[in-house]
Structure 1
Amino acid sequence: MPKYLIAIVLFLLTLTLHAQTRPFTIAGKLQGNYTGTITLHYTLNTQEPITLQTPVENKTFHFIGQVPHPVQATLELEGLSTAIWLYLDSGSIHVNARTHTFIDPEGRLVNRLQSTSITGSYSEMLKSDFFTFWRTLIETDQPDSAKAETLYRHMLALVDAQPASNIGSELLRDADLLTYAQADTIFHHLSAEQQSLAGSNGVAKLLQRLAHTERGTPFKFFLLTDKTGKPMSGEQLPHKYMLVDFWASWCGPCRREHPNLVSLYSKYHSAGFEIVSISLDEERPRWLSAIANDELTWPQLSDLKGMTSPAAQYYALSFIPFNVLLDAHGKIIAKDVKGERLQKLLASLLPE
């Protein structure tokens, strides 16, 4: 039995003992020279945000509180600070972290806070173990449909065990591997309160993205402009297979994938492979500079509206790079395929 399933059993025993309130304590220890205050932020779903603050003394800090169910929280230092995410749950939670204070390129004082370990929270352990299982599943050689079915069954079991916990929503919002039907079933096993939060916690975006990118779904083209200012959607470009790639000049992973796309375009374009890139940039000079520097020779489109672009909104993009592979009829046959996976897929579709 996977570790996270054992954790679910332990979690349910704890629920029985703490049906109404779940008292927690946080004991923290910091490495570094930080001497200010540290703040704990969390929201009990539909209620107002809760903020607790305490001084760091002798590199340690403590919080005491209670929650009705497991809930995500953040720990932050003063001023501009990175945050540690953790789950508040009944019991004693121990946080070890590193701090580093520096001046950023804009001359601002930044306090960096980075977790080294979080123990004592059943939900934190459950989430960590589930993500370990998830990563292991993704790395197997099973077809995506088999991976999705396995992920679906295990995630549904977790949600059924604690439908009111935020952990189910957190896992679901990242589950692009699932089909729309699988994700929708899990969503409807969440509590009514969790379902009501779908618009703010990312779950609604996940469901919309899955509905619009299901295998066999026609891709919706948007009239944008190319780098010369000419209106274009890419829909009329001849192709056997077309990769529609969402990216931006400021996106490091997007730029790192470009050499792979350049190579594949050179190798397969004459065989019927086309690429249409849709940039979510907002600044034209940076967009054009990135196109030139990365030597992108296929159609480049944008409305320079960033993540508010109608195309990004329709596909509910909350991250990039993101892409879909279309057949000759403009229907989606694969999504989010990159690197070696894209190389193997094109080799199978367009053999030399």
Structure 2
Amino acid sequence: MKRLLLIAIFLSPLSLLAQFSFVIKGFGKAYNDGDKIFLTYRQGDRLVEDSTVVKNRSFKFKGTFATKVRGYLSRNDNPRFALDLSDSFYIYIDSGQISLTSPDTLNNTLISGTPLNDDYAKLNNALKPVAEKRKKLKDLNQLSTEELKDTAFVNSIKANAVDAYYEAFPIQFKFINEHPNSYVSLLTLAEMARSSKYIPQVAQSFAKLSSTLKKMPEARKIAATIIESKKISEGMIAKDFTQNDVNGDAVTLSSYQNKYVLVDFWASWCLPCREENPNVLAVYEKYKTKNFVVLSVSVDTDKDKWINAIKEDRLPWVQVSDLKKQNEAAKVYGVTTIPANLLIDPSGKVIAKDLKGKALREKLAELLDDK
């Protein structure tokens, strides 16, 4: 399970705010006496870290907080030092007793006991079919050496993972729209806003959130993302830009006029980007003789890491970057999250935005399969 990231909430000094108490009680059939459970959550700009030891397959935490936040539990992996948390679970720090039970590990926890965690349980239950489907997908980390040599096989696994990821979005939108007063909805929407593909739907759900939630820092970030996304829309003429390729030669977007151009924003450090690269490579190889090109814009600042990622992912098309902290082309197109892309037709008009996985393959098939 990839390392979990907390969303920081900036508050006035905690000493000036009321303190509330919580109790967390957990039980897992696969827990062993002596297992260490770590609890991590944020209060303002302070990271709260606690730990306890499993006894009789159970553990318990007691604590206080000034504001409700999301944190997480991890078993036997100290999040301060671990690169990956193999057994972990999100939890909402909420007033009252929070109960967690599991047939095996933290990863499969059932949670209840407070309003926020009850909401979180409802969302998890709705997402269960998608979660079960994801479990059946092959794990790249468990492939044999021979299987890893089969590039087509590996790329198909990555493409399936991307498709499965987006299957959760309609379910999450439904939950958010039905729970406009829940902090769970706000944090879920904040995560979904990182996928530029769904910004129009994010905007619709954001409008339905309560006024109280809209005043929170996470909401302000979502609002800013929505505003930036409107810098370019389908039907507009693509804005020109020039950046240097890996050899330092200037490349201008308009030099690709009279072609279908996929402008792809990515970075070497962006795992979702790297997972989407095989999908882009597949459509490039299929349609490169049918008036289709890819122009990738990296938001990297480290040239060596950028070039190494290009080599590792075997990307044969033109790659450009200005290597600035805020890429100028990304700013022009209102790109606040990656991966992001736009598809431009031979007349220079933007005809689609943020096509990933299956959606990209279907759109190009619609445009180019008969050519």
Tell me the equivalent position of 1:157. Answer: 178
The more displaced of 80-89 and 47-56 is: 47-56
Distance 1:217 1:130, change over 3 A: farther
The one-letter amino acid paired with 2:176 is M
Instruction: Give the one of 109, 120, 125 matched to 1:117.
Output: 109
Tell me the equivalent position of 2:185. Answer: 168
What are the superposed Cα offsets for residues 252-278 of structure 1, whole Å, 9 maximum, x if unpaired?
A: 554454444344334423432121111
The one-letter amino acid paired with 2:304 is P
Give, in whole Å, the separation in 1 of the partners of 2:81 and 2:60: 21
Indicate the structure with greater strand content: 1
The one-letter amino acid paired with 2:183 is N
Give, in whole Å, the separation in 1 of the partners of 2:177 and 2:211: 16
Distance 1:348 1:318, change over 3 A: closer
| 2:72 is aligned with 1:80 | no
Alignment: residue pair count: 300
The more displaced of 287-296 and 33-42 is: 33-42
Distance 1:57 1:297, change over 3 A: closer
Give, in whole Å, the separation in 2 of the partners of 1:32 and 1:87: 24
Distance 1:330 1:158, change over 3 A: farther
Distance 1:235 1:130, change over 3 A: farther
What are the superposed Cα offsets for residues 289-341 of structure 1, whole Å, 9 maximum, x if unpaired?
A: 333454433221012236x3234455343343x32212234433223323443
CA contact (8 A) 1:209 1:317 kept: yes
The more displaced of 27-36 and 328-337 is: 27-36
3-state secondary structure, aligned to 1:236: helix
| 2:328 is aligned with 1:323 | no
What are the superposed Cα offsets for residues 165-206 of structure 1, whole Å, 9 maximum, x if unpaired?
A: 3222123220555564x5445334434442233457752354
TM-score (norm 1): 0.67
Distance 1:131 1:318, change over 3 A: farther
CA contact (8 A) 1:95 1:115 kept: no
Give, in whole Å, the separation in 2 of the partners of 1:284 and 1:75: 37
Give, in whole Å, the separation in 2 of the partners of 1:33 and 1:239: 67
Q: Which runs of 5+ in 2 are unaligned?
A: 1-17, 134-159, 161-167
The one-letter amino acid paired with 1:334 is A
Q: Which runs of 5+ in 1 are unaligned?
A: 1-19, 100-113, 140-146
TM-score (norm 2): 0.64
CA drift of 1:118 comes to 3.5
Tell me the equivalent position of 2:99. Answer: 93
Tell me the equivalent position of 1:26. Answer: 24
Tell me the equivalent position of 1:109. Answer: none
CA contact (8 A) 2:52 2:61 kept: no
